[in-house]
Amino acid sequence: MEQIRIGSKSSLVPVSRLLWLCVHAALGLGACAQEEYKAPPLPVFMQGAKPEPVSGALAAVPSGIASEKLPVAPSVSAADASMTAAPLEAPHEFTLDAAISRALEADPQIKAGFESVKQAEADLVTAGLLPNPDLTSDVLMIPWAQPWRATRQGGPTQTDALVSFPIDWFIFGKRAAAVVTAQKGVDVTTAQFSDLLRQRIAGTISAYYDVLEAQAMLDLAQVDLENLSQLEQISANRVALGGAGTIELDRVRVFIFGSRREIRARETALATAIAKLRSFLGYSDEVPLALKGNLDVDAPAPPLAADAAFSLAGENRPDLIALQRQIAMAAANLELEERRAYPEVKPAFGYTNQFQHEMDQANADSWNVILQMSLPVFDRNQGNIAKARSLRTQAEHNLTAQFVDLRAEIVQAVKNFQAAHDALLIDDPGQLDAARNVRDKIRAAYELGGKPLIDVLDAQRAYRDTFRLHISARSSYWHSLYALNAAIGKQVLR
């Protein structure tokens, strides 16, 4: 640091006045402190979701199975307590909107992501703060062994008090550039947090429909077991009357064993789906859940063209907005690094008192003006400037790559929804009723001795497989619909 010092012994500025001038100047500079900054608002995926008040413990009954006029075993998903003997707790009931609202309030990953926004806002506060003044005090020219006197002249001993304050942040706009960069950082972090919300909400919706599908599959397996149990009774009656051999009864029992294994597998799948949903809802304990919903599709939404979906995604996807803001932040950071290449400038004002009484002279007071300034000869911040340029270029490439990936994601989501939509309207209608009618007629004929057992079992298996496809078609519709909405970043399809 180069130091220039100007002193005057002939004039005296009281220390109190000097300090008052420094404090007054600092307060005046502090008046330009940055006001509180808020990032531009972003659309939040599924922001219209509102919790719905629910009374009582109503477990979800999947559509279609309730029409089966057969007793159904109690559902394990309502309490999820099939493996514990503890007293049952009233299940926490959720509609889809209530589950989304709960996830927004309690999901620990969302809470952790929000802290990133607070950290960016804290960086903005730091960038807007004025630098602190420096106080330097010293005692110089102290005699080594004997005091200074007329026969041993030296010194005289003196004490200094200097107050310095950097001004290069103001002269070269370093602070203003740092504030702009920090503001862009808040914008980027806010968009990234919004994208985290999109992903967690999409995950909550997917887990919600996973539970509904697993519950429907379990209920179907229980109904299938009940049907086979009734068929076992019919076969036992025929064997007792001599109308059939015992081999038919054994064959039905083999199918019953398989049906029981299917129920255990479906119970495991349901427990896994509920555990996944709990994690999105922020529950660390195994609290019982009950979903107030079903897989019914009253009015299928029309498919969306890939180009239209891609255009909407470009406007609403927060991850794209975050990348666009990263480019603006990188440009602001480049401006900041270029301004940091300017020299550091730090003026100082001080007071000096020289002790001359030992030399039969009166003590002398003086004031000082000092200018310290770095000389950017070798280090002109070349490395950081080059890095900032590279970061800006990198951000531009990342945005281009994200648009390429987005196109593939949108096309896939549109095709998946188109397939689910067609399966729902073209493949599904009527086949469940047809399979049910065939099963019932063949079973009635078997009971009267007009059909062999193999036909009854085939009809039962065909009905079960058809019902599984019926459940999967509706589940795929809802999964693909919300997956497409999530890919767009906005609830377009309802």
* Residue 85: strand pairing partners: none
**pLDDT tens for each residue of 31-80:** 455 567 888 877 777 766 554 433 332 233 333 333 443 333 333 343 34
- Residue 95 inside a domain? The answer is yes
220: region left, alpha or beta (phi > 0 left; psi from -120 to 50 alpha): alpha
The better pLDDT of the pair 21, 225 is held by 225
More confident residue, 245 or 470: 470
C-alpha 176 chain-centroid distance: 31
Q: What is the pLDDT of residue 399?
A: 95
For the chain, the average pLDDT equals 82
Structural domain contains residue 263: yes
Report DSSP letters for 139-155, one per residue. Answer: EE---SSS--BTTB---
pLDDT of residue 243: 66
Does any domain span residue 144?
no
Question: Could you tell me if residue 115 is inside a domain?
Answer: yes
What domain range is 447 assigned to? 38-45+62-131+173-341+409-488
Residues 472 and 451: their CA atoms lie apart, in Å, by 31
- Tell me if 429 is assigned to some domain: yes
Q: How confident is the model at residue 88 (pLDDT cuts 50, 70, 90)?
A: low
State residue 262 phi and psi, 5-degree precision. -60, -40
Residue 402 lies in a domain: no
- Comparing 45-59, 167-181, 331-345, which segment has the lowest mean pLDDT? 45-59
In a domain, 118, yes or no: yes
Alpha helices in 31-167 (DSSP H): 96-106, 108-128
- Pick from 141-145, 213-217, 467-471 the range whose average pLDDT is largest: 213-217
pTM of the model: 0.79
- Residue 441's pLDDT is what? 78
Q: What are phi and psi of 164, to 5 degrees?
A: -120, 155
3-class SS at 364? Answer: strand
Q: Are 267 and 218 in contact (CB under 8 A)?
A: yes
Give the C-alpha separation, 209 to 99, whole Å. Answer: 11
Q: What is the pLDDT of residues 114-165, one digit of tens each?
A: 999 999 999 999 999 999 999 999 998 888 877 777 777 777 889 999 999 9
* Bridge partner residues of 352 (DSSP): 160, 366
Is 55 part of any domain?
Answer: no
Q: Are 368 and 162 in contact (CB under 8 A)?
A: yes
Q: For residue 286, what pLDDT is reported?
A: 86
Domain tally, the chain? 1
pLDDT digits (tens, 9 = 90+) for 407-445: 999 999 999 999 999 988 886 667 777 777 777 777 787
CATH number for the domain harbouring residue 241:
1.20.1600.10
